[in-house]
A and B are shown apart, each in its own frame.
Chain A
Amino acid sequence: MESGSSEGEEVQQRVPLRERVEWSDVTPVPQNDGPNPVVPIQYTEEFSEVMDYFRAVYLTDERSPRALALTAEAVQFNSGNYTVWHFRRLLLESLKVDLNDELEFVERMAAGNSKNYQMWHHRRWVAEKLGPEARNNELEFTKKILSVDAKHYHAWSHRQWALQTLGGWEDELNYCTELLKEDIFNNSAWNQRYFVITRSPFLGGLKAMRESEVLYTIEAIIAYPENESSWRYLRGLYKGETTSWVNDPQVSSVCLKILRTKSNYVFALSTILDLICFGYQPNEDIRDAIDALKTADMDKQDLDDDEKGEQQNLNIARNICSILKQVDPIRTNYWIWRKSRLPLSA
């Protein structure tokens, strides 16, 4: 409260640059907008002045503490100005500033607006210069932002960069688990989980992790079968090994379980459809569960499923497309297209 009040006073008492002694030797450079600019922004007097002085030091390439301070003012007016950020980096290098102070500066900027590419690019540059000593700072910084917005795209990209460049993998899988416990629909956390199990130097890679991750994912699917994230993750666990995906009884088993509930089964059905396209042959239980989902009019429209072997599989695939067309109407065109792409006969 007191701090806020003090800050407010500071803002009110801001002294224009032209009235500051330390800037008296500089001639501000107006923006070269021409006589009739389009998309003209009605800049405030403060904004115009700061940018005019910035252009002056930028054009003369002045590497000085006052120029550094000026860039801080400029990015506070517009944190998306990549030219100012770029010049600030040149200054930081020339002036050999302690970059730990710069981390604090970026965090203050992030408190105001953390959704622009420029600030995150700057943060990455600073952390890269600091090296491994920045590890904990970067993980804490991103964790703080993700605690407010768990799907913050830039924060996740930065966190991935930090893990790969600075390390800190040991607790990352636990972190993903915690986030998914809070929100099982957080696709960013599922994506991060995939990132960790495939790239962490401590876990042995996708193949080594598959068994335990499949169990984890199947539990998530059973809890919320309407959650697209877990189904996509399950498919991803077999990336590059489609045969394993087709042959793993756990996959068809969880599909069957969901089909039998007769609710939220769109992803289960589309998974069976994909499996069939890759050579999977549905057993009697699966066939019965699918039959139970057909409506009366659907029976008349489709071919009978008394055929055997591959023809039977194709008929099942067609029936699945027809069912999906009914229960997933927003994707009618897609399911019609999928059906048209099925071979006509074995």
Chain B
Amino acid sequence: MSEESERDTNPAAAPPCPTVSQRDQWMVESQVFQIYQLFATIPGSAQNLMYLSQLELQRDNHMQYLSKGLRHLSSAFSVLDANRPWLCYWIFHSIALLGESVDDELEDNTIDFLNRCQDPNGGYAGGPGQMPHIATTYAAVNTLITLGGQKSLASINRDKLYGFLRRMKQSNGGFRMHDEGEIDVRACYTAISVASVLNILDDELIKNVGDYILSCQTYEGGIAGEPGSEAHGGYTFCGLATMILIGEVNRLDLPRLVEWAVFRQGKECGFQGRTNKLVDGCYSFWQGGAVALLQRLSSIINKQMEEASQTFTISDVSEAKESLDGTSSHATCHGKHEGTSQSCSADYKSIGYNFINEWRAQEPLFHSIALQQYILLCAQEQAGGLRDKPGKRRDHYHTCYCLSGLSLCQYSWSKHPDSPPLPNLVLGPYSNLLEPIHPLFNVVLERYREAHVFFFTES
């Protein structure tokens, strides 16, 4: 066994053929570098013209692609028939990011449609006549917030929605996606995010959620969908955002999480979802978003790093171990206390709002210019829509999360969440600038603020 293993991994005896992972990776790198190389070799003034043209966000074409989707989807979309609120969200959020809107009639039709998805007992289904589902509830609520206005916001039955979330809540802290449905970190995020933004978050919904998500942080540092599963970009964003919203983010091993997340950005300039997987434009938001959130937690991260550093500069091993136990225990108690104590009740209700109001200038931890380059040159389709990677087809999901990631990049240096960045921080022409988002909810900031006024000052 040992001998065999040694032989197999010995460089001299390494297999002549690359592994599947290596071959796939090199193929993608080749495609991407070819695109980048194209601009590096264009001579003189032609370079500027061509370069700027290619780096330009094709707003009109994206808008055309998005608008069409609201009015007509081919039969191929039948496989998304249980995800129509998601289609609404991906499209309307993208439109809002572009700073655009649709006519009143279309907005009214959307409110009406989502009302037909709203279950009499709370929550939104993936389509009329279907069961309510937490993920499509998140999509519907975010769509209605993005539409804005009294009619849209008032259409959400918060009391019934709260009841739905309580019924989906499990004793281990997780949420079922639907009645007797699957439990994972996505469900935690979509449930807590919706409850937070609608001001219906309470101790009962928060109870044990932190424990569940903590059990999903892996040895790599990222967060998995279930305990034991592999660290993954989508679940990492969901898990991290949830821990922030419930006021328990200090329980995560944040230095390890930061390190794992920043290593998801590769030579292609975009982010991959898992270690040694391929780059994908949607992780511009999931991973880029996680890093953007972590950037705003630097004081907590610094504290964790200092505690770890101090503990292990003690020369006495047994003393060090004792200190470690004490530190760990203290952090755990503190987190739990913070999360469950009645006296902290007001705290988590305002976390989402305070997150953007207590914003401090902080240099981004990821390479925001490089990521913009990937999004604009590799993920953007000139004819409209954005995609996973070169060679893949555009779709509304990737359009939404590539644009969301692009917005995060552009505002990643900002002193305030909506203060316009300097031109050199926006790759391509300044007209590429998108609307800023609230990174915890992925809703355009202006719409979030309107919703906050509606749901938090009403009572």
Q: In the assembled complex, which residues on chain B have CB atoms less than 8 Å from the CB atom of A41?
A: 73-75, 77-78, 80-81, 84
Residues of chain B from 293 to 337 with CB closer than 8 A to chain A in the complex: 302, 305, 308-309, 312-314, 317, 320-321, 324
**Pair B305/A82 contact, Cβ less than 8 Å:** no
Stretch at the interface among B129-137, B386-394, B426-434: B129-137
Check B109–A37 contact: CB distance below 8 A.
yes
Instruction: Please report A residues at the B interface, Cβ cutoff 8 Å.
Output: 29, 31-34, 36-44, 47, 51, 55, 58-59, 77-83, 86, 89, 113, 117, 120-121, 124, 150-151, 153, 156-157, 160-161, 164, 177, 181-188, 191, 194-195, 199, 215-216, 219-220, 222-223, 227-229, 232-233, 235-236, 239, 242-243, 246-247, 270, 277-279, 310, 329-334, 336-337, 341, 343
Partner of A185, one of B8, B9, B276: B276
Q: How far is the CA of A64 from the CA of B204 in the complex (A)?
A: 39
Contact A82 B177, CB 8 Å, known A42-B73, A44-B78: yes
**For the complex, what is the distance from the CA of A279 to the CA of B181, rounded to whole Å?**
47
The CA of A336 and the CA of B362, in the complex, are separated in Å by: 12
**A32→B229 CA distance, assembly (Å):** 39
Q: Is the CB of A40 within 8 A of B180?
A: no
Instruction: Offer 23 A-B interface pairs, CB within 8 angstroms, sorted by A.
Output: A31-B129, A32-B128, A34-B112, A34-B113, A41-B78, A41-B80, A42-B77, A44-B78, A83-B126, A86-B178, A121-B182, A150-B20, A151-B274, A157-B229, A191-B231, A219-B6, A229-B275, A232-B219, A243-B312, A270-B259, A330-B367, A331-B262, A331-B265
Partner of A219, one of B9, B220, B259, B324: B9
In the complex with contacts A41-B81, A195-B228, A331-B263 CB distance below 8 A: yes
Residues of B close to A232: CB separation below 8 A: 219-221, 260, 275
Asked if A334 meets B262 with Cβ closer than 8 Å, knowing A187-B277, A279-B312, the reply is: yes
Chain B stretch 122-169: residues in CB contact (< 8 A) with chain A: 125-131, 133
Q: Give, as a whole number of angstroms, the nearest-CB distance from A208 to chain B.
A: 16
B87 at interface by CB-CB < 8 Å: yes
Asked if B275 and A38 sit within 8 Å, CB to CB, the answer is no
Interface residues of B in 226-242 (CB under 8 A from A): 226, 228-232
Given contacts A79-B79, A157-B225, contact A186 B179 (CB under 8 A): no
B366 at the interface (CB under 8 A from A): yes
> Given A32-B128, A333-B366 in contact, is the A194-B219 Cβ separation under 8 Å?
yes
Contact of A44 among B11, B75, B87 (CB under 8 A): B75
Q: Is the CB of A330 within 8 A of B363?
A: no
> Which A-chain residue is minimally distant from B261 (CB atoms)?
A334
Q: How far is the CA of A96 from the CA of B320 in the complex (A)?
A: 59
Q: Which residue of B lies closest to A81 (CB)?
A: B82
- CB nearest to B69 among chain A residues: A39
Task: List 4 additional contacts besides A33-B128, A223-B9; criterion CB under 8 Å.
Answer: A31-B128, A34-B128, A80-B80, A117-B177
| Interface residue from A40, A120, A188, A334 paired with B230 (Cβ < 8 Å) | A188
Which residues on A sit within 8 Å (CB–CB) of B367?
329-333
Across chains A and B, which 4 residue pairs bring their CB atoms closest together, nearest first?
A: A236-B219, A185-B21, A279-B312, A183-B19
CB of B267 closer than 8 Å to a CB of A: yes
B2: nearest residue on chain A (CB-CB)? A215
Question: Shortest Cβ distance from A45 into chain B, in angstroms?
Answer: 10
Which residue of the partner chain, among B21, B259, B314, B364, contacts A186 with CB atoms under 8 Å? B21
Report A-chain residues with C-beta under 8 Å of the C-beta of B309.
Answer: 277-279, 343
Interface check B410, CB cutoff 8 A: no
Q: Tell me whether B195 is interfacial, beta carbon within 8 Å.
A: no
B327 to chain A, nearest CB (A): 11
Instruction: Give the B interface residue count (CB, 8 A).
Output: 93
Q: Which of B9, B70, B129, B363 contacts A222 (CB 8 A)?
A: B9
In the complex, what distance in Å separates the CA atom of A332 from the CA atom of B232?
23
Residue from A59, A164, A194, A333 with most neighbouring chain B CB atoms (10 Å): A333
Inter-chain contacts of A86 with B (CB < 8 A)? 131, 178-181
The reply on B110 being an interface residue by CB < 8 A is yes
Q: Which residues of A contact B83 (CB under 8 A)?
A: 80
Which of B25, B130, B275 has its CB near the most chain A CB atoms (within 10 A)? B275
A266 and B317 CA atoms in complex are apart in Å by 29
Chain B residues within CB distance 8 Å of chain A? 2, 5-6, 8-11, 14, 19-22, 25, 69-75, 77-84, 87-88, 91, 105-106, 109-110, 112-113, 116, 125-131, 133, 177-182, 218-221, 225-226, 228-232, 258-260, 262-263, 265-267, 269, 274-277, 302, 305, 308-309, 312-314, 317, 320-321, 324, 363-367, 370
Contacts of B218 in A (CB 8 A): 191, 194, 236
B82: chain A residues at CB < 8 Å are 78, 80-83
Are B19 and A185 neighbours in the complex by a CB distance under 8 Å? yes
State A272–B109 Cα separation when bound (angstroms): 59
Evaluate whether A333 and B363 lie within 8 angstroms (CB atoms) in the complex, with A42-B75, A79-B79, A278-B308 already known.
Answer: yes
User: What chain B residues lie within 8 Å of A59 (beta carbons)?
Assistant: 129
CB-nearest residue of chain A relative to B77?
A41
Residue in contact with B276 in the complex, picked from A121, A182, A187, A222, CB distance below 8 Å? A187
Q: Are A277 and B308 in contact (CB under 8 A)?
A: yes
Minimum Cβ distance to chain B for residue A237 (Å)? 8
Q: Is the CB of A330 within 8 A of B91?
A: no
The smallest C-beta distance from A250 to any residue of chain B, in angstroms, reads 15
**Cα distance A33–B177 when bound, in Å?**
23
Instruction: Evaluate whether A121 and B181 lie within 8 angstroms (CB atoms) in the complex, with A36-B112, A184-B9, A232-B219 already known.
Output: yes
B269–A38 CB distance below 8 A: no
A77 to B391, CA, bound (A): 27
Asked whether, in the complex, the Cβ of B313 is within 8 Å of the Cβ of A310, the reply is: yes
Q: Which residues of A contact B87 (CB under 8 A)?
A: 39
**Which residues does chain A contribute within 8 Å of B182, judged by CB atoms?**
117, 120-121, 124
A153 touches B232 (CB 8 A): yes
List, in ascending order, chain B residues with CB within 8 A of A191's CB.
Answer: 218, 220, 229-231
Residue of B181, B269, B313 touching A330 (CB-CB under 8 A): B269
Asked if A77 meets B70 with Cβ closer than 8 Å, knowing A191-B218, A333-B367, the reply is no
- In this complex, the member of B127, B302, B308 whose beta carbon has the largest number of chain A beta carbons within 10 angstroms is B127
Q: How far is the CA of A86 from the CA of B180 in the complex (A)?
A: 8
A33-B113, A78-B81, A121-B182 known; A278 vs B275 contact (CB < 8 Å): no
A333 with B365, Cβ < 8 A, contacts A42-B73, A183-B21 known: yes
Contact indicator A227/B276 (Cβ below 8 Å): yes
Chain B neighbourhood of A310, CB < 8 A:
313
- Are B312 and A341 in contact (CB-based, < 8 A)? no
